Amino acid sequence: MKLDNLWNGTHWNDDGELEVLTFDLNGETFALEAVMVQEILDILPETAVPGSQPFVGSVINFRGKVIPLADLRLAFGMEAAEATIDSRIIVIELDLQDEPTLVGLRTDKVNEVTTLAKASSEAPPSVGMRWRPDYINCLVKRGGEFIILPNLQAIFSARQNKALSA
Amino acid sequence: MSSTDPIAVFRIEAAECLEQIEAGLLDLTHQLDDKALIDAVFRGLHTLKGSGSMFGFDALAAFTHHCETAFDRVRKGEAPATAELVAAVLDAQDHMRALVDDPNGDHDATSQRLLAQLQAAVGGAAKPAQWVTAAAPASVVTDKRKTWRIRFSLPLNAMINGTNPLGLLDELRDLGECRVVANTSTIPSLSALVPTELYLSWDVTVTTEQPRSAIDDVFIFVMDDMQLDVEEIDGNAVVATPKEAVVSAAPAAPVAPAAGEIVPVKREAPAQVAPVADQRQAKVTESVRVPAERLDELMDRVGELVIAQSRLSQLASASADIGLRSVSEEIERLSGELRDTMMVLRMVPVASLFSRFRRLVHDLARETGKVIELVTEGETTEVDKTVIERLADPLVHLVRNSIDHGLEPPEERFAAGKAEAGTITLSARQSGGEVIISIKDDGRGINRERVRAKAESSGLIQPGQQLSDAELLQLIFAPGFSTAAQITNLSGRGVGMDVVKKTVEALRGAIDIVSLPGQGSDVSLRIPLTLAIIDGLLVRVGAGRYVIPLSAVEECLELSLEEDLRSRGRSFISLRDSLVPFLRLRDVFRTGTKPDVHQKVVVISTGTERVGLVVDQIIGDHQTVIKSMSKLHNDVAHFSGATILGDGSVALILDVVHLVTVGQQQEAHLRAAG
C-alpha cells in the first residue's frame, strides 16, 4: 500500500496516468500537471520587489497583468542561477486562498509534455533527500532518472502564510 | 457574467424604488402639502406593489397595497398629510425592505402593528373599509355619475417601450360605461407603415361614479409622454345610438374596487391636466444598467490600451517616419479621450450617498431629542461608484459622531448663544485629482482635555507629553479610542475612528480634522478621484523605477552631494523654515548602488505630514494604470500596487501613506534619541 494521502495534490486519471510538462532546474527534472500551465514565455524583463521574500522576489508583465515570478530553486534550497538561452518562464494558475492566481515560474529549460504512470511513482523518501518532503507530491521513475512533482500548493501557501503572519 | 436572475433584478429595482420613496417621504416632512411629492411617493408605492406581486413577493405586495391605499387618500385630498403619517409610512417602508430581503420570513406581527399605526395616522379608523365613512366629507355631491370625454394619444414608440394601449382602455372600461372610438386617420399607407409603431389615438366617453382623478390614475405611468385631454360633458349628449342608450341604462358601477377607494370628491377643472403633464416633461436622462464587472473589464482593456499607446508613442518619437508619428499622435488623443470617458462611466454623483443620511439624521434627531438640520452641498460632484459604496459606512460613523458627541442638546446650545437647531453639513467638492467629502457640525468641538485624558489613561501617550494640536487630534484614530463618557445607543458599537481611517486609507485617501472648541468640527475625507488610473511621477532609485502618485507630491528639490554628506548624521532637510524628515529610498530598498551625483528629494505629504524621498533621478510624469499585486506580495509594505511602463516593464507604485508614517516615526525616534 502506497501512501495515497501524500499525493492528494496529484490528479491521476482513471487509468493511473497524468499528463505533465517537464522542465529542468539546476540539472534536476521537475514536472507540472499540464492542465495548470497557462503559457510558456521567453525571459521577460523582471522588476525586483524590495522587501519581498527572495522566493517570489520579482514581478513581470504578463499580458497587461502584473504577476509574481517565483523561483522554485529557492524553495528547494538550491542555488539561484543566471538565465541562459534556454531559460523560460512557465505561467501557471494556482488557487491561493480560494482565488485563482497567476504565477510565473523560472526554469532553466522546458522539455516536453508527456504522460507519467502512477505505477512508477513513489512517495518522497523520508530520509536521504535534501528537500523538504512536504514540498514534493511524488517522484516518478522514468528511464533511470527521477522526475520530481512538486507540491505547489504546499510551497506557495507556506510562503503565503509566512507572509500574512509577518 | 451578467446576472439574469429575475429575483435579483427585482431586488435591485425594489431597493431603488424604496430609496425613492424614502427620499420623497423625507422631503415631505418639510413640505407636507407638496402635491408633486405625494404623487411621487404614491407612484413609488404603486410600482413596488405591482412589480412585487409580479415577482411573487406576495406579502410585500399585500402590505404595500395598504400603504398605497392610505397614501391614495392623501393624494385625493381625503386625508391630510401629517408628520405622523409620514413617520408611519417611513417605518412601513423599512418593513417593506425586510419583506424584499426575506419574503418567506415571519413578518405578520410587524405588518399588523405597522398597519394599525398607519391607519391611526391616516384617520383614526380601525379598518380600511371604514376609513371612508370616517373621513368622507358630509357635503359630497349626491349625483355621483358624470360623463367624461377623454381624448388621448400615445407616442409612436409607446409599444416598443412596453406600454399596452389595450390595458389603458380596459382600465377606462373598468371605471364605468364606456364608449371607445379609435381615430384611424393617422395610419399611414401600407408602404410607410411600421408594424411596431402606434398610429392610433382614441376618443373615449366614460360615464362613471369615480372622481376625475381616477381617470388620471389610468394614465399615471404614461403621463409624461402622452397627450391627454379630459373634459366633462353632458352624459346624454354623447349617447347617440339607441344601442348605446340601452347600455347606458344599465345599472352603474360595473366593477366596484375596494370600498375604501370609491370616494367621490368633486374637484379639479378639466383643463388642469395639461400643466401637470408639462411639469413632468423634465425628462430623466435615460440610463442603462450594466454589471460592475463588465465596467471593470472595460477599464482593464482601456488600461491595456493606454499602455500599448504609450509604447507606440515611444517608438514613434524615436522614428523618423512622419506617418507613424501622426498616427501615434492620433492614437494618443483617442486613447486619452477613451480613458476620460471610461473614468466618467464609473462615476456617480454623491447625491446618492448623501441622500441616505437624511433618514439617519431624521432618526437620530428623534432618538436624541436634538434639533438637527442637515445641509448637503455639492451633491452633483461625481465619485467612483466603488468609492461611494465603501465610504458609506465610515460616513455613517462620522455623522453619528457629529450628532452624538458634537451637537449639544437644544438647552445647551441656547445657553451658548447658538441657534437651537444644530447644523450638520455634508459637502463634496472636487479639488485637483481628489474629491473632498467633509462632515461639518456647529457643535461643541472636540474636547482636547478629554482626548488627552483618555489617551493618557489608555497608555497611548505619556502623562504631560507635549503634543501639537494636530497630533492630539490624530489620537482619536487610535484603535479602541472613544471619548464618549458613556456608551450610548449611537456610539460604542465597535466601529471606531480607526476603522474609518483604515477604510479611507485603503482608498488611498486621507483624513483631515479641524475642530474649534465651542464652534464645531470639520472632518474632511480626501479621496483620489478614480482608483484605476492615476497621474504619477516616475523616479529612478538604483536600477529600479518607481511611481509616486502625483497627487501626493508637493515639490521636488535637488540634494547636492555636500548637503547629502552633511545630512548624513541627521535625516532632515530644511524647507522654508520647517524641517522635513527624509528617507533615502536607496537604503529603504537596499539597492546596494551608489548614489547619483545629483540626487533629488521628492517631498510628499498626506495632508498635514510631510516627508522627503531621496531618489536618484526624476524621470517625469507618467499616466499610471494601477494593477494590484498578488497575494504573494501582501507582506510588502512600501508599495500600494504596480503599473506597466511604456517599454512593457513593471514599475512599483509607492505607498505614500506608509512611507510618510515610516518617515515620521524615524523622525520621532531621532528626536527622542537626540
Alpha helices in B280-423 (DSSP H): 292-317, 322-345, 351-368, 385-401, 410-415
Reported as type and span, the H/E element at residue A67 is strand A65-70
Confidence category of residue B134, pLDDT binned at 50, 70, 90: very low
Q: What are phi and psi of B152, to 5 degrees?
A: -145, 150
Q: How far apart are CA B551 and CA B653, in angstroms?
A: 13
CB–CB contact B632 A64 (8 Å): no
Q: Which of B84, B159, B148 is nearest to B114 (CA)?
A: B84
What letter would DSSP give residue B531? S
Q: Is A101 on the interface with B (CB under 8 A)?
A: yes
Q: Which residues of chain B does A66 touch, with a Cβ-Cβ cutoff of 8 Å? A: 627-630, 642-644, 650
Residue of chain A minimizing CA distance to B545: A47
B538 against B130, higher pLDDT: B538
Angle (CA) B580 B586 B587, round 5°: 80
| CB nearest A67 (choices: B630, B643, B649) | B630
> What letter represents residue B348's amino acid?
V
B334 against B242, higher pLDDT: B334
Q: Which of B234, B304, B264, B216 is nearest to B532 (CA)?
A: B304
* Burial class of residue A8 (count of CB atoms within 10 Å of its CB; 0-12, 13-18, 19+): exposed
Q: Is A158 on the interface with B (CB under 8 A)?
A: no
B370 near B422, Cβ under 8 Å? yes
Q: Is A98 on the interface with B (CB under 8 A)?
A: no
In the block, residue with C-alpha cell 436624541 = B368
Q: Other CB atoms closer than 10 Å to residue B98's CB: what's the count? A: 16
Q: What are phi and psi of B430, to 5 degrees?
A: -100, 135
CB–CB contact A61 B644 (8 Å): yes
| CB nearest A163 (choices: B634, B650, B651) | B634
Q: Is the dihedral of CA B110, B113, B114, B115 positive or negative?
A: positive
Residue of chain B minimizing CA distance to A69: B632
Q: Name all contacts of B589-593 with Cβ < 8 Å and 24+ positions apart.
A: B589/A50, B589/A51, B589/B541, B589/B542, B589/B544, B589/B638, B590/A50, B591/A50, B591/B541, B591/B542, B591/B543, B591/B544, B592/B542, B593/B542, B593/B543
Q: Is A161 on the interface with B (CB under 8 A)?
A: no
| CB nearest B633 (choices: A60, A68, A99) | A68
Confidence check: pLDDT of B263 > 70: no
CB pairs under 8 A between A and B: 91
Classified by CATH at the fold level, domain B348-447+494-528 comes out as Heat Shock Protein 90 (3.30.565)
Confidence check: pLDDT of B137 > 70: no
CB–CB contact A51 B589 (8 Å): yes
Q: How far apart are CA A74 and CA A56, in angstroms?
A: 9
CB–CB contact B632 A70 (8 Å): yes
**Is B146-233 CATH 3.40.50?**
no
Q: Is A95 on the interface with B (CB under 8 A)?
A: no
B575 near B558, Cβ under 8 Å? no
In tens, the pLDDT along B21-53 reads: 888 888 888 787 788 888 888 888 888 888 887
**What is the predicted pLDDT for the residue at B512?**
85
CB–CB contact A52 B636 (8 Å): yes
> What letter represents residue B524's amino acid?
S
- Rounded to the nearest angstrom, the minimum Cα separation between B307 and chain A is 8
Q: How far apart are CA A150 and CA A20, in angstroms?
A: 12
> Is residue B106 helix, strand or coil?
coil
- Rounded to the nearest angstrom, the minimum Cα separation between B639 and chain A is 9
What letter would DSSP give residue B480? T
Q: Is the dihedral of CA B587, B588, B592, B593 positive or negative?
A: negative
**What is the predicted pLDDT for the residue at B144?**
67
Domain ranges for chain B: 6-123, 146-233, 348-447+494-528, 533-673
Confidence check: pLDDT of B256 > 50: no
Q: How far apart are CA B394 and CA B388, in angstroms?
A: 10
Q: Which of B408, B427, B421 is nearest to B354 (CA)?
A: B427
- Would you give the end-to-end CA distance of chain A in angstroms? 40
CB–CB contact B631 A160 (8 Å): yes
Q: How far apart are CA B159 and CA B666, in angstroms?
A: 70
CB–CB contact B629 A50 (8 Å): no
Confidence check: pLDDT of B492 > 50: no
What letter would DSSP give residue B627? B
Q: How far apart are CA B25 and CA A148, in angstroms?
A: 69
Confidence check: pLDDT of B486 > 90: no
- Three cell numbers written together for B593: 548602488
- Chain B residues with CB under 8 Å of a chain A CB are 300, 303-304, 307, 544, 588-591, 627-639, 642-644, 647-652
| CB nearest B544 (choices: A47, A103, A162) | A47
Q: Count of alpha carbons within 13 Å of B136, Cβ hemisphere only?
A: 19
Q: What are phi and psi of B43, to 5 degrees?
A: -60, -40
Q: Is A53 on the interface with B (CB under 8 A)?
A: yes
Confidence category of residue B214, pLDDT binned at 50, 70, 90: confident
Q: Is A89 on the interface with B (CB under 8 A)?
A: no
- Three cell numbers written together for B217: 390614475
Q: How far apart are CA A143 and CA A162, in angstroms?
A: 38
Q: Which residues of chain A does B652 touch, with a Cβ-Cβ cutoff of 8 Å? A: 47, 49, 59
| CB nearest B627 (choices: A44, A65, A99) | A65
Residue of chain A minimizing CA distance to B628: A66
Query: Following CA atoms A102, A107, A111, A113 in sequence, which dihedral angle do they give, to the nearest 10 degrees?
Result: -20
- Rounded to the nearest angstrom, the minimum Cα separation between A58 and chain B is 9
The percent of residues in chain B predicted with pLDDT above 70, rounded, is 83
Q: Other CB atoms closer than 10 Å to residue B350's CB: what's the count? A: 26
When mean pLDDT is compared across B185-194, B509-518, B567-576, B593-602, the lowest value belongs to B567-576
Q: Is A62 on the interface with B (CB under 8 A)?
A: no
- Would you give the end-to-end CA distance of chain B in angstroms? 60
Confidence check: pLDDT of B568 > 90: no
| CB nearest B644 (choices: A52, A66, A162) | A66
> Is residue B257 helix, strand or coil?
coil
Q: Name all contacts of B318-325 with Cβ < 8 Å and 24+ positions apart.
A: none
Confidence category of residue A39, pLDDT binned at 50, 70, 90: very high
- Rounded to the nearest angstrom, the minimum Cα separation between A99 and chain B is 9
Q: Is A11 on the interface with B (CB under 8 A)?
A: no
Confidence check: pLDDT of B213 > 90: no
B237-268 in b/e burial notation, b at 16+ Cβ within 10 A?
A: ebbeeeeeeeebeeeeeeeeeeebbbbbbeeb
In the block, residue with C-alpha cell 497583468 = A65
Confidence check: pLDDT of B283 > 60: no
Q: Which residues of chain A does B635 touch, with a Cβ-Cβ cutoff of 8 Å? A: 51-53, 162-164, 166
Which range, B231-235, B325-329, B513-517, is most confident? B325-329
CB–CB contact B629 A59 (8 Å): yes
Confidence category of residue B261, pLDDT binned at 50, 70, 90: very low
Please tell me the total number of residues recorded for chain B in this structure.
674
Classified by CATH at the fold level, domain B533-673 comes out as SH3 type barrels. (2.30.30)
**What is the predicted pLDDT for the residue at A71?**
92
In the block, residue with C-alpha cell 522542465 = A23
- Rounded to the nearest angstrom, the minimum Cα separation between A25 and chain B is 22
Q: What are phi and psi of B104, to 5 degrees?
A: -95, 0
Q: Is A67 on the interface with B (CB under 8 A)?
A: yes
Q: Are strands A28-33 and A145-150 parallel, antiparallel or unpaired?
A: parallel
Q: How far apart are CA B179 and CA B182, in angstroms?
A: 10
User: Which numeric CATH code is attached to B6-123?
Assistant: 1.20.120.160
Confidence category of residue A9, pLDDT binned at 50, 70, 90: low
* Burial class of residue B415 (count of CB atoms within 10 Å of its CB; 0-12, 13-18, 19+): exposed
| CB nearest B633 (choices: A49, A97, A99) | A49
Q: How far apart are CA B629 and CA B516, in angstroms?
A: 42
**What is the predicted pLDDT for the residue at B285?**
59
CB–CB contact B591 A156 (8 Å): no
In tens, the pLDDT along B85-118 reads: 888 888 888 888 888 888 777 788 888 888 888 8
Considering just the CA atoms, what is the radius of gyration of chain B in Å? 33
A157 near A96, Cβ under 8 Å? yes
User: Which numeric CATH code is attached to A3-165?
Assistant: 2.40.50.180
Confidence category of residue B250, pLDDT binned at 50, 70, 90: very low
CB–CB contact A166 B635 (8 Å): yes
| CB nearest B304 (choices: A64, A97, A101) | A64
Confidence check: pLDDT of B491 > 50: no
| CB nearest B649 (choices: A61, A68, A97) | A61
The strand order across the sheet containing B372-377 reads B372-377, B422-431, B434-441, B520-528, B510-516
Q: Is A47 on the interface with B (CB under 8 A)?
A: yes
- pTM (two decimals): 0.53
Q: Is A140 on the interface with B (CB under 8 A)?
A: no
The strand order across the sheet containing B533-541 reads B617-625, B533-541, B544-549, B650-654, B639-644
